[in-house]
Amino acid sequence: MQLRNLVSKQLLKKQLAEETFKRITVSFYRYLKLGDVENFRNQLFIDFTDLQVFGRIYIASEGVNAQVSVPEHNWNKFTEYLNQNEYLKDVPLKIAVEDDGKSFYKLIVRIKNKIVADGLDDNAFDVSNVGKHLSAKEFNEALGHPDTIVVDMRNHYESEVGYFENALKPDADTFRDALPKAIEMTKDDKDKKILLYCTGGIRCEKASAYFKHHGYKDVNQLYGGIIQYARDIKSGELENKYHGKNFVFDERMGERISDEIVSTCHQCGALCDTHVNCANDDCHLLFIQCNECREKYQGCCTVECQTIINLPLEEQKKLRKGKKKENAHAVFKSRLRPDLKQLLSDSKK
């Protein structure tokens, strides 16, 4: 069998829309030492294909990082498979808070140098010396401590739509950039209680070890990240100290943790926390857009992009010719391009 997908995106999305069963979106990760990475990758692709699992899985010699969508009728087979796998037995599963079953439309299993791009030399410090894992209840209690420093280890476009109370939010496009900025922001607080959090916990595993390597005395991290926190506050009837949405890296782009909207439309400034990608595929900019602006600009970030998507297809192809298409899924940029404000301003004249 082919060990990669060869079906068009359009057909895959159509097939997903026509499915008559429910899916469960779940994420998991584990740092471990993998021997034959390629064989592990290929077998996982074959077995997950048999289970009709969709999603994105990164595999490296240091471990596995997965966000997947599992057919509800195959859930038991899926968990049994994980528990029979020597590398994935008893791996903690983080089930999505809000799930329409349309988070992924195909299966991607890729071999990477690292399961999270952190830019760190893992030989330079003890990556296993991680911070203390805190439950949702413990995290809430620690938030109330006067000497606590809370650090959001996500990117700026994630923290823009949701965050914990009083959190420091590094102004970074990537986790690689967030790490040194977080250290710089807290360099005078090494004797204070440090609380780290991220989406599902994986970034905090490496970040907490990095903080301890830099001399921080009391480093803690939210167990299971925001995803697990949201489920625990509901089941445990705990106070929700998270404001807004949790950004997720799939077709949903977010799941609501509280009813608050803490961000605004990048085009008109109205309250909004809906991330979209520009409808012009040659741009594909990630930004926040309200329904009114979505209609006005046809899902585009600028009038320039709106003009392009309304050109005949052949004209669009001519414009693309010779241009290197940027992978906006790899480099998310939710800030407006330098020219965007001016273009929007000109369009309103």
Quick check: 345 pLDDT over 90?
no
Superfamily of domain 132-235: Rhodanese-like domain (3.40.250.10)
Which has the closest alpha carbon to 240: 320, 136, 135, 170?
136
Residues annotated catalytic, as ranges: 198
Quick check: 87 pLDDT over 90?
yes
Where does the pLDDT of residue 236 fall: very low under 50, low under 70, confident under 90, or very high at 90 and above? confident
Beta-carbon count within 10 A of 158 CB: 26
Do 112 and 66 form a contact (C-beta atoms < 8 A)? no
Tokens 């970034």 locate to 203
When pLDDT is averaged across residues 89-112 and rounded to a whole number, the result is 94
Architecture per CATH, domain 19-111, reads as 2-Layer Sandwich (3.30)
Domain ranges in the chain are 19-111, 132-235, 275-347
Q: What are phi and psi of 307, to 5 degrees?
A: -60, -40
Which has the closest alpha carbon to 213: 190, 245, 232?
190
Q: What's the token pair of residue 171? A: 């102004």
Where does the pLDDT of residue 332 fall: very low under 50, low under 70, confident under 90, or very high at 90 and above? very low
Q: How far is CA 40 from CA 1, 31, 81, 132, 308, in A?
A: 16, 15, 14, 30, 44
* pLDDT for res 266: 94
Quick check: 146 pLDDT over 80?
yes
* pLDDT for res 28: 97
